Every structure is written in structure tokens, then in C-alpha cells.
Amino acid sequence: MSVSELDARLQEKASDNLRSEKTGLDSIDAAILRELCADARIPRAELSRRVALSAPSVADRVRRLEDMGIITGYGARIDPARLGYGLTILIRARPLPGEMKNMIEAIKETPQIVACDRVSGEDCFVARAHVRDVAEMEAVIDRIVPFGATNSSIVQSSPVEERLVEL
């Protein structure tokens, strides 16, 4: 058995007792997730150093987190304002009777809409869009309005950026 295999087995055995019953994650898994959320491009060697585990063990853990569906992908964070999209808007939408599918399709086909959640309450959807100006905001809303009511807000700032949930 190689040193890295022994290291992996010892780390797994030691951490099994520390795994959360709810998530199946231990403190090393949590540290790996925090590091990957801070920088998804971190080299495996550096990630291994930061979590105090061998590179093969870290690679195995990352692969397991991917297989479990906890890590669903990797990506870059882009600043829409630097691309000329100076306004971020939230659009709350409520479809007319029989127009749910059409509204969903209109939302999906609008490229400025970067996220949309189906929610409970008076509205059915809350969409987030990036637009260049108020005229483009109006055009985005006009694509949805034929299928129901909308209410929109301009995001002034984001005091809490998207972040990892508590582990």
C-alpha cells in the first residue's frame, strides 16, 4: 500500500467519526468546499496544503463531493456592470390563468434574465436580470407582461453577495 493510500485510509477512518449525520460531511469536506467557493481554480496541491491532506486524498474527496451532487459545477464570477449592464433588476411575476407555460417560456427565452425562482406568495416567480439601461429594462418586462402581471425593482446594492451556506 502506498503512502498516499495509507494517508487516505487513515484520514477517512479518523474523519468518519466526525461526519455530520445530516450531511455526511466532515470538517475536512467543509474546508474543501469553503476553499473551492473562494477560488474554484485553486490548484489541487495548494488545496491539499490548505486542508492539510495529501493531494490524492483531496482529489478523492472532491470527486466524492461531485458524485454526491454537492459540487455541481465550477465557474467564474462575472461583473455585469463591467460588461455594460449597469442595472440589475428583480422582476416579480404572476401569470394569468392558463399562461403559466407561456410565462415560463418567455422568461427562459429572455437572455437578460440570469436567474429565476418559482416562489410561494402572491407572485409565482422572482427573476433577476441585468440590463444596460431603463429602456432595456422596459423591453425585458414587455416580453413577460402579455402573460401576466409584473412588478419590478432596481437593485441598488447587494450587501450580502452570494455565499456558501453554513456547513
Residue 19's domain is classified under what CATH number? 1.10.10.10
- Please check whether residue 44 lies inside any domain of the structure: yes
- Please check whether residue 36 lies inside any domain of the structure: yes
pLDDT digits (tens, 9 = 90+) for 44-86: 999 999 999 999 999 999 999 999 999 999 988 899 999 999 9
Least confident of 70-79, 83-92, 132-141: 70-79
Residue 63's H or E segment, with its range, is helix 55-67
Name the average pLDDT for the chain. Answer: 89
Domain span at residue 29 reads 3-67
| Dihedral angle, C-alpha 79, 117, 87, 34, nearest 10 ° | -30
pLDDT-derived band at 6, boundaries 50, 70, 90: very low
**61 & 85 share domain:** no
- Please check whether residue 25 lies inside any domain of the structure: yes
- pLDDT of amino acid 48: 96
Span 18-36, average pLDDT = 82
Span 12-23, average pLDDT = 53
**63 & 84 share domain:** no
- pLDDT of amino acid 20: 56
- pLDDT of amino acid 165: 85
- Please check whether residue 53 lies inside any domain of the structure: yes
Total domains, the chain:
2
- Please check whether residue 113 lies inside any domain of the structure: yes
- pLDDT of amino acid 161: 86
- Please check whether residue 165 lies inside any domain of the structure: no
- pLDDT of amino acid 167: 79
**58 & 104 share domain:** no
